[in-house]
Every structure is written in structure tokens, then in C-alpha cells.
Amino acid sequence: MPQMTSFFAPRRVLPFRVVAVALSAIAVLTVGLMVPSRAEAQAQPPGVSLSTRYVAGQKTSVIVLPVNGTLGDSVATMLSRDFDYSDRFNVVSTSSAPMVNGPPNYALFSKLGVDGIVQATLLPSGWVRVALHDVSKKAVLNSKDFPLPSPTLSPAWRAAMHGVSDAVEEWITGQRGIAQTRIAFTRGGRVWIVDSDRANVMPATPSGMSPQWLPGGRGLVYSVLDGVRNPIMMTDLGTGSQRTLASSSGIEHSSPAVAPDGRTVVYARGSDTGTDLYAMPLEGGAPRRITVGRGRASTQPTFSPDGQRIAFMSDRSGHPEVYISDLDGTNAELLTAAAFGDRDYRAGPDWSPDGRLVAFQSRNGGTFQIMTINLRDQSVKFVTNDGRNDDPSWAPDSRHLVFSSTRSGTRQLWIVDIETGRSRQLTFGSEARLSAWSPRLLSQ
Amino acid sequence: MMPVSRLTLVLASTTLVLGACRKKPVVAPQTETPAVVAPPPTRPATTTPAARDTMEEYRTKLAATRARLLETIYFEYDADELRDDAKSNLDAKILVLNANTAVKIRVAGHCDERGSDEYNIALGRRRAEAAKRYLTDRGIDASRIETASFGRERPAVQGTSEESWSRNRRDEFEIIAGGDQLRAQ
């Protein structure tokens, strides 16, 4: 079934038939499917439906009950927003829910069109207890107590709450969410970090651009174009310490990529012989040359999930295209092939964590749009169509992308769900660009 | 006191000329005799008028020489080929460099904001190398020319019009050694 085909939401409520399978003491769920037939979906007149929400009959409706206590509003709001931003649920407004003490009136919620109820309770210990109710089964499906660090509402507390959202999402869909992630980006000549829900915008480095995350989110690798030694740097986000990885006078080191095992960094090295990719061990050691461009440029590397291959952009053919090669530069092949006609500029590849897709930017009608190419069948899809869009970076779910766009005026970061096409603005204020989505940040 | 104020006047006019040349937006013909502040006619002279004019002329020429060496060259969109006006400009630089063998320069390539930011670092590098290659092919020792790129990170002018972009696609020149020994051409 094509992913980008528009399936619009039928307004009727879907039953929440749940098959629970015990697997390593974790209940993995399959949400019941009452999929409208293809004909039924196509019968929906275009333009009449509510939104661009992806449904295909599978989107579960959830509601977060109001939460008692002074932090109750914050908890309910964060959970609701995280579920909404996951683009996997129809989120029913908390304000339409009655305050519930004890078991909820399932019949009432069934009438509201709710499949799942998320009930959070702040415990005296500072932990939060979260129960997920299956409305059609009239039963609690799962319940767990989660620790919340103090002080409340601090970045660490918010990160832990996002982790709660992600766990509940896993109870329902079988796949952990991406709320507990951050996005590093470039603004005003330094690297910043923002939470996935736009909170906690903070500078992370004194200078630099083009950040990339180390495994586990423990640090960032980035480049500094200072006109002197133009180094590749690494910062430890725990201690704030900075370390130089590659640096030499009169050379531009730029566009780093970190191997999935965190042991190797690949970057572009610009000198009088051109701009080529080099690999070096993160712990130090001699750089090893990957590409030999003879004056042409290769840059913007990205690793395959198994760390064995890289995609990168090169103008070796006379104009910028995306290539794939082994990590030592051999077996290079053009990925973005001639099917693009006169759209002669492709750049900024990023390999999806599930290995299926490479996202990139392609010039169309004088400006850039984000596209994906499927590595199995080479099929391509447009992800954006509004403004200028650059430098996509995948979320850990291989479904959301962050990129910069001029669609709201100044260049800002936006997030798009490639399944639904739904997008939201992540940054506001002065220009933001060259971003990287963190891996899941499990430990806090 | 008079020599001091004369010197101040000369320095001021030199700065004026330099400033004027630097601000030239796009490639423009070099003014052979830029306007300078004329000395007050009634002031008692410490040197003869003829000597003073020679001094003035020399300083003016020196400023023009320096400006010629530092004058920015411009590129077409997404291109690192040297335009004809850029080549004429580099030819003029060659005369200066040949007459001033102690002088070393740095060429820094820049881009407009339109291409991919990270690819622009590579493109800026190629623009700098294009100028360096033109100079070395015509006899300038490669050790006298350093190259660098700033991609699109340091625009000369802000703006999103072709007018702005055309002024940002450029090579900037900087004297990194021997500038104090520069002799006028």
C-alpha cells in the first residue's frame, strides 16, 4: 500500500480490539483493525475531510485524563502533546474528559470515540503511575510506575515525562515513541539543542555548525569554520568539555558523520586538491582517505545503520548527486539517478535508522524540496512542497524528519511525518539550520 | 607642529582612498588619480610644492596598488569559473605581485546562500583555488598564495535578491605577509 496516498479519516469510531501477546513479560499489542476497504477510502471526497491525518483505518483514539495535583496540567498536556506529535494517534482533548476517580465509565468514553484512556497519577514519592485502559475491553491493559527526577519541570523532569509517553506508545503500537529525543542545530555560529516538543532551547557549544550525535546522545561532533584550523570538534554533553578531532592550518574540515558504533567519524576535508571524505577513529589516530575527487567535491556523508556503507553527495559527474559506497570508498554507485530530468542538484543525504530510505534535498523549479528514495526499488517521494527545504535528518522512528525550511519566512527547523505529510515548526526566532535528530535518550 | 598635521592629512586622504576603493560593490575600473584633499594654499610650506605633490602622488598610487591587490572578484551562481572581469582583475594583481616579491596573500572563497550550506564550503574552496591557479599559471610562486573557504557563512551583504547574491559569490584577498614593504605601481 503506498505510504503517501491520502487516506482521510472516517469519522466513525473504530473498535479497539486488542490481542495481547505475552512476550518476555511485555505485552505487545496489535491494535484491532477494521480497515475501510480501498474503495471506501477512495470514496471519501477530497477536501471534505478533516485534515491530512494518516488513518488507513488504524489510528487509535486516545485521551489523557485530567491529572490531580499542582503539576497535573503539565503532565496531562505533555502526554497529550507527545501522543499528538507521534502522528500515530487521534488525541481527544483532555478538557472533554470528566475527572475520574477509580475505574472510568467505559461506556461514556466509548461514546466519545475513545479507544484508549491514559490515566496518570502523581504519587507522593514524586513518581508517576500511568495506567492504559482499553475501552472496548473495559479493562486496564497496562500500568507502571515511572520515576521523575526533581526539580519538577526541569529539563531532566521533562525528559522523563517524554519517556513515559514513549513507553505508553510502545504499549499501544509495539514501537517506542520518539518524544524523549532532542534535536541539535546550527544558529548564530554555534550549536544549540532543543527538545522534541520545542522546550529547553539551549546552546551546546561555544561555536560551530553541522552537529551530529554520538550514540546514546552523550555528546556531539561538529565542525568549526573559523578560517584558521577549521576543526572537527567533539563535546561531551555531560561535562561540557570540548575535544579537537581533526584540525590543520589552511584546511576546511566540515560535515562530520558519526558511525553507529561511535568509533569512527567521517568528514569532508577541503584542501588545494579538492574536497574529499576522510575517516578517523574517534579516539584519535591517522585519518584514512575515502574518496579521491581530483578537484571535485565529496561531502555530507551519512552512515548506513550497520556502519558498513556511506551515502554522500558529490559533484564528480559535474553536478551534485547522492552516491553510495563502501566505507573505504569502493563500490561507489550513483543513488539519485537520471530519472530526475533537469533537476540537477541533489544534496544533504541522511540514511534512515531502519536502513530502508535515504532522505535528501533536490532542486526543483529553482528551490529545494526534501525527498526520500527507497533503497530496495529506487522509488522516490516528495516530502515537502512549500518554500526552500534543506538538510533532512531522521528521527529514530525512521518516520519523522527534521529539516530547515523557509516556508514561514526566515529559515527555521520543521518536522514532517512522512506517513501523513503532517508537519510542525520546531524552532522560532533567528535562523536555524543544519540539524540532527538525536537517538532515543533512554537514560537520564 | 606643521609636519605632524601634514602627515595626518596625508594619512587621512590615504584612508579615504582605501575606504572608497574597498566599498566598490562590483568590479569597476580603477581610478588612476582619485580625488584627494588639497592642501590649504595659504599654509606656509615646509617642503616645496613640487616635492609635496610627488609625495601625494606616491601615496595615492600606493593606496591604489594595495586596493588593486585586495579587490574582490565575483562569480556566477554555482560556478567556479573565472569571469573575464575577474581575469582582468587578477592580471592587475599579477603586476603588483611581480613587483612585490615579499608579499604573500590569502584568497578566501565565498558563496551566496542558495546552494547546500555544506556543499558551499567545497564550492568556496574551488573558487579560491581557481584564482590561485590563474596566478600560479602566470608565474606567481604557489608558496605566496594561501587559500581558504568560508562557504556561505560570512556574507558580504545581507539580502535575498540577485543583487545581494551576486556580491556574495566572491573571492576576497588579504595580504598575509610583506604588506609593509608594498611599493606603488
Residue B160 in contact with partner chain A when CB distance is under 8 A = no
Predicted local confidence at residue B126, as pLDDT: 96
What integer is the mean pLDDT of A75-98? Answer: 92
Among B46, B69, B92, residue at a domain's last position: B69
Asked if the interface predicted TM-score (ipTM) of this complex is over 0.90, the answer is no
Question: Which of A252, A315, A391 minimises the CB distance to B125?
Answer: A252
User: pLDDT by residue (tens digit) across B53-72?
Assistant: 788 899 999 999 999 999 99
Q: Do B150 and A297 touch (CB under 8 A)?
A: no
Q: What percent of chain B is helix, strand and coil (3-state, nearest 5)? A: 50, 10, 40
What are the CA-CA distances from residue B71 to residues A187, A309, B76 (Å)? 31, 45, 17
The yes-or-no verdict on residue A22 having pLDDT over 60 is: no
Shared domain for B76 and B111, answered yes or no, is: yes
Domain encompassing residue B28:
2-69
Residue A433 in contact with partner chain B when CB distance is under 8 A = yes
What integer is the mean pLDDT of A393-407? Answer: 98
Residue A270 in contact with partner chain B when CB distance is under 8 A = yes
Beta strands A400-405 and A412-417, pairing class: antiparallel
> Which of A251, A299, A302 should we substitute to test contact with B (largest number of B Cβ atoms within 10 Å)?
A299
Confidence of residue B23 (pLDDT cuts 50, 70, 90): very low
Residue A427 in contact with partner chain B when CB distance is under 8 A = no
- Percent of chain B at pLDDT exceeding 90: 65
Confidence of residue A58 (pLDDT cuts 50, 70, 90): low
Q: Do B121 and A209 touch (CB under 8 A)?
A: no
Confidence of residue B13 (pLDDT cuts 50, 70, 90): very low
The yes-or-no verdict on residue A28 having pLDDT over 90 is: no
Q: Do B119 and A252 touch (CB under 8 A)?
A: no
Q: How far off is chain A from B129, nearest CA to CA, in Å? A: 6
Here the cell at position A24 is: 518476555
Shared domain for B32 and B101, answered yes or no, is: no
Chain B CB contacts of A275 under 8 Å are 121-122, 125-126
C-alpha–C-alpha distance, residues A372 and A374, integer Å = 7
Is it true that the peptide bond before A151 is cis, omega within 30 degrees of 0? yes
Shared domain for B63 and B82, answered yes or no, is: no
| Mean pLDDT for chain B overall | 83
CATH class of A58-173: alpha beta
What integer is the mean pLDDT of B24-29? Answer: 45
The yes-or-no verdict on residue A24 having pLDDT over 50 is: no
Shared domain for B173 and B101, answered yes or no, is: yes
Q: For chain A, positions 224-243, list CB contacts with chain B under 8 A.
A: 225, 227
CATH number for the domain that contains residue B113:
3.30.1330.60
Shared domain for B13 and B88, answered yes or no, is: no
CATH class of A182-437: mainly beta
